[in-house]
Amino acid sequence: MHILITGGAGFIGSNLVEYHLRKGDIVHAVDDLSTGSADNLTVFMNDQNFRFDQADILTWQGLDKAAAWADRIYHMAAVVGVFKVLEEPIKVLATNIAGCERVLRAVQTGKWNPQIVIASTSEVYGTGMHYAEDAGRGDASAIRKADPSFIPAFDEDMEPMVGSSVISRWNYSISKLAGEAFGMSYARKQGMKVIVIRFFNTIGPRQTGRYGMVVPRFVRHAVANEPIPVYGDGAQTRCFCDVRDTVIALDKLADEANSYGQIINVGSDREISIKELAELVKNRAGSSSPIKFVPLDEAYTEAFQETLRRRPNLDKLHRLTGFAHRWTLERTLDDLINAEKSRR
């Protein structure tokens, strides 16, 4: 297959490059390296089945030709990471929305109808508090006490809900919702093979902590025996999925015709609090690091609304693909810890 990956030097993008090259596919990646890294692709540069262009998805002149060549397109290019979103709110909106629409328009103008996988995010579910209230699972006072159990697992049929656009944190969610709307509209009106993926806390090799991702930050501090910073009280829960499982799930979904025109959660449904995660990383690293709780108003540059619980309903993913995870959280953490120790 001919595989085009936008954002191919990023975390998930570079793992997709590796996965498809191992399958014997021909891969063309593009990335402007604003958040991705050329180091993620160094090992592939001498592969005759790999090509890389450093370019901005908004202005890349080779997009139409590459889209016409591709059997499958993974649109991963985006401004990502909490810190990056807070620092560059305008770029988040411009790049994420216009970039997605430009990719879809390039496919529409061509004669070929490739499979298109669009990266979205679990952030579109918002804080989750309104789901708890709507379901009658707790009143506002209980939710304010930060009891995540009042917030149900997120499934794709839930109505997306983001916070006020006055708060820059939600620009990422807004931009991804716009991308979802573009993708579903092109699928309905143009018959394009579009799948939208809502990722839930993907982790693994090549992920950086520079832009706010929690696991690489915890691993780095634990291996260095430095204080492990937990933002807030650590009661908030997340579900972490290894990227090596994620890329297999994406491949299976792209090959399943019943996935086209669908929005699908991809991740793990094993839930853990951030405080428990910090303790788990510390223990598996054999670290002497203390756990340091950092108030949210100190951790971020502006008002920040935390999501208390983020657990996906994966029924649709399993129904469409029969997908099963291979990587446990412990196995992934051990792999990342060993890699960090080797680097040091």
pLDDT above 90 (res 51): yes
- Examine residue 6 and state whether it is found in any structural domain, yes or no: yes
Phi and psi angles of residue 121, each rounded to the nearest 5 degrees, phi first: -155, 150
Q: What is the pLDDT of residue 193?
A: 97
- As a whole number, the mean pLDDT across the chain is 90
With beta carbons less than 8 A apart as the criterion, state whether 88 and 96 touch: no
Counting the structural domains of the chain, the total is 1
- Where in the sequence is the domain holding 194, given as residue range(s)? 2-203+241-269+311-326
Q: What is the pLDDT of residue 160?
A: 80
Least confident segment among 15-29, 129-143, 330-344: 129-143
- Examine residue 215 and state whether it is found in any structural domain, yes or no: no
From CA 148, how far away is CA 239, in angstroms rounded? 13
From CA 176, how far away is CA 182, in angstroms rounded? 10
Kindly report the three-state secondary structure assignment for every residue of 255-290. Answer: CCHHHCCEEEEECCCCEEEHHHHHHHHHHHHCCCCC
- Examine residue 300 and state whether it is found in any structural domain, yes or no: no
Distance between the two ends of the chain, CA-based, in angstroms? 38
Least confident segment among 49-63, 265-279, 280-294, 299-313: 299-313
From CA 70, how far away is CA 302, in angstroms rounded? 42
pLDDT above 90 (res 87): no
pLDDT above 80 (res 231): yes
Q: Any idea what the CATH number is for the domain that residue 264 is in? A: 3.40.50.720
From CA 342, how far away is CA 336, in angstroms rounded? 10
Least confident segment among 35-39, 111-115, 131-135, 293-297: 131-135
From CA 234, how far away is CA 148, in angstroms rounded? 11
Percent of the chain with pLDDT strictly greater than 90: 70
- Residue 203 pLDDT grade (very low, low, confident, very high; cuts 50, 70, 90): very high
- Examine residue 291 and state whether it is found in any structural domain, yes or no: no
Which is the catalytic residue, given 19, 74, 125, 172? 172
From CA 312, how far away is CA 125, in angstroms rounded? 10
- Residue 149 pLDDT grade (very low, low, confident, very high; cuts 50, 70, 90): low
Could you identify the residue written with the tokens 């696991």?
215
- Residue 107 pLDDT grade (very low, low, confident, very high; cuts 50, 70, 90): very high
Q: Residue 135: how many CB atoms within 10 A of its CB?
A: 11
Q: What is the pLDDT of residue 85?
A: 72
- 172 in active site: yes
- Residue 144 pLDDT grade (very low, low, confident, very high; cuts 50, 70, 90): very low
Could you identify the residue written with the tokens 């450093």?
54
pLDDT above 90 (res 130): no
From CA 271, how far away is CA 285, in angstroms rounded? 21
- Examine residue 11 and state whether it is found in any structural domain, yes or no: yes
Distance of CA 5 to the CA centre of its chain: 15
- Examine residue 297 and state whether it is found in any structural domain, yes or no: no
Tell me how many degrees the CA angle 125-128-134 measures, rounded to the nearest 5.
110
Average pLDDT over residues 154-177: 80
From CA 146, how far away is CA 127, in angstroms rounded? 11
Q: What is the pLDDT of residue 305?
A: 62
Query: Could you report the per-residue pLDDT of 1-34, keeping only the tens digit for each?
Result: 999 999 999 999 999 999 999 999 999 999 999 8
The strands making up 50-54's β-sheet, listed across from edge to edge, are: 50-54, 26-31, 2-6, 72-75, 115-121, 193-199, 262-266
- Examine residue 219 and state whether it is found in any structural domain, yes or no: no
Q: What is the pLDDT of residue 244?
A: 98
Q: What is the pLDDT of residue 208?
A: 87
Tell me how many degrees the CA angle 308-85-66 measures, rounded to the nearest 5.
115
